[in-house]
Chain A
């Protein structure tokens, strides 16, 4: 384990004598290597699952800043003017094309469904 012979001598406060050198060589040569044979896999299987916790931590780390930034951005928007614009647009769209409105609603619903599926897919 300690490959550097000189280091060992320094650590243990003096040079090794012939007997110590011989003893070290014999003991190290006689040490067998124990093949893994599934031992490591067994250990890993017995480890407590930590992934669920870290996933929630990851979501919090992403979600909290996004929420704060979103709130800041939304607080700066001219809501009243936007309401008028959207209202006028919807009225215009309703008068021109019900098909366009239905397509927009279907697109938004599809995006929402895909987002939910992606978010919860990993938990299954």
Chain B
């Protein structure tokens, strides 16, 4: 049985055990790199660079990690902050999280979404903030509070993004919504 996150973190904090940290990196690299790709608008190389910087910062800051949040939440938040800083200095193309307008979706009529794989296409019609909020809550399994913490947003704003995004998806994917079957 592999050791828990808490055990590995304790070993890293106590003795700067790089082998233990390596196990944490291996455990979370896939999730974090996918999250980084979302933050970097799909640019794989920038995303891997961001993920690597996130892990290095996490290693340095691990003694300050309080187990009030999950380790994954903490990692996502670090990545988000790095991406936000890069975006502010225009090193990466990114999105404005405060925007409230949806992208035009006239071409995305509900009839187009007949198959399950079209969820992705439907997601693309949402604003970046709505996409991120929905993915964090539904794809990554974070709670609303955790997602708000990661995105550095008030809980109410996060819930609004989730609710509006869900509403729009519901109308776009009405054809295969179980409630309409």
Contact = CB atoms under 8 A, between A and B. Distances in A.
Nearest to B24: A40
Nearest to A34: B30
A47 B56 contact: yes
Interface string A15-42: 0011111111011101111111001101
B141 A48 contact: no
Contacts of B22: 40, 43-44
A46 interface: yes
Interface residues of A, number: 36
Which secondary structure dominates where chain B touches chain A?
helix
B56 A39 contact: no
B48 A39 contact: yes
Contact of B21 (A3, A20, A31, A47): A47
B139 A31 contact: yes
Given A19-B178, A39-B48, A47-B56, A54 B33 contact: no
Interface string A97-123: 000000000000000000000000000
A19 B22 CA distance: 38
B25 A43 contact: yes
A1 B72 contact: yes
B72 A50 contact: no
Interface of A: 1-3, 8, 11-13, 17-24, 26-28, 30-36, 39-40, 42-44, 46-48, 50-51, 54
